[in-house]
């Protein structure tokens, strides 16, 4: 019997996300999760969505760097301008779609700050353990 296990880095990321998310629930009134189980599921959902967002952003930045013309740079720059705020709106929409009123990540600015802290905490922990 063969079972596939997620790489340890993904499990650590989820633990970091759930820790940061629960600290935000405790100290930021706009962030709400009704139970720890919901915050754990939210952390898993955030991990999945942010992995996609980080890959899309990296691809757009790659296109921006590789653009050989001003028009190419302009298009890639425009895509980046759409991806950055769009990713925060995507996170808000997906969390609302999946959890409804049981989980709230605040508005655009609160989720932007939360995502920045999530990614910085993830980076810090990854550097600490490697």
**120 alpha carbon, distance to own chain's centre:** 11
pTM reported for the whole predicted model: 0.84
Structure tokens at 86: 């769009």
* Spatial distance between the Cα atoms of 13 and 91, rounded to a whole number of angstroms: 17
Provide the residue ranges of all domains of the chain, joining segments of one domain with +.
8-129
Q: Per-residue pLDDT tens for 59-76?
A: 888 888 888 888 888 888
- Specify whether the CB–CB gap between 17 and 118 falls below 8 A: yes
33: phi then psi, degrees, rounded to nearest 5: -140, 125
Q: Per-residue pLDDT tens for 69-118?
A: 888 888 888 888 888 889 999 999 999 999 999 999 998 999 999 999 99
**In the block, which residue shows the tokens 């629960």?**
22
Where does residue 36 rank: exposed (0-12), middle (13-18), buried (19+ CB within 10 A)? exposed
């Amino acid at each position: 019997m063969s079972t596939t296990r997620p790489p340890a880095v993904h499990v650590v990321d989820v633990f970091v996300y759930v820790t940061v998310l629960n600290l935000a629930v405790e100290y930021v009134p706009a962030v709400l999760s009704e139970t720890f189980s919901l915050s754990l599921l939210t952390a898993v959902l955030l991990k999945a969505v942010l992995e996609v967002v980080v890959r899309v952003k990296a691809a757009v930045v790659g296109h921006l760097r590789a653009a050989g013309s001003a028009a190419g740079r302009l298009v890639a720059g425009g895509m980046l301008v759409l991806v950055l705020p769009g990713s925060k709106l995507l996170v808000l929409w997906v969390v609302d779609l999946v959890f409804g009123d049981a989980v709230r990540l605040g508005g655009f600015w609160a989720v932007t700050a939360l995502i920045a802290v999530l990614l910085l905490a993830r980076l810090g922990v990854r550097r600490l353990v490697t």
